[in-house]
Amino acid sequence: MKKIFYFLLILALTHCSTKKLVNKHGITNLELKKDEIKIGSSNRNDIINLLGPPSSVSLFDENIWIYIEIQKTNQSIVKLGNKKIKKNNTLIVEFDNRSLVKNIDFVDIQKMNNLDISEKVTTKTYSSNSRLYNVLTSLREKINAPVKRRRNKK
């Protein structure tokens, strides 16, 4: 029994690595590459040559390109493979109508952690005495009525 235990222990120790595994997604070194973009003189082709195609294009405005960089590392052995976000950078490039860079916004993990959350509460716009509530209640009762009949038969 001890031999099996020692064999498993040696097997586990030889296959474990002390180096942290880093998973990279998106554009690498986004912080350094953003400094090469010149507002008013860089165009779409310059951005594609520098950063490649955008990670995402805004759904509301095709002149806004979004580039993302994420790096995740493994935590300690005790955490059993849970990953920690090391870098989470986002670069938002906005173009004018002549395809020149109009604005650059760089958001790193520190700015993302400082988001303001609204304290407003949404209230319902109908009451239990309203006509809509009565219609929906009667409709729900009609839908559930066959179920009640089947339950009573059993």
> For every one of its 154 residues, what pLDDT tens digit does the chain have, with 9 covering 90 and above?
777 877 776 756 665 556 667 778 888 888 899 899 999 999 999 999 999 999 999 888 899 999 999 888 877 666 666 788 888 889 999 999 999 999 999 988 777 766 677 788 887 666 667 788 888 888 888 888 766 556 566 5
Residue 62 lies in a domain: yes
Cβ partners under 8 Å of residue 92, min gap 6: 64, 65, 66, 67, 103, 104, 105, 106, 107
Domain count, the chain: 1
Tell me if 55 sits within 8 A of 92, measured CB to CB: no
Residue 4 lies in a domain: no
This prediction's pTM: 0.60
Question: What is the radius of gyration, based on Cα positions, of the chain?
Answer: 28
Cβ partners under 8 Å of residue 55, min gap 6: 26, 27, 66, 67, 68
Range of the domain at 34: 22-114
Residue 109 lies in a domain: yes
Residue 16 lies in a domain: no
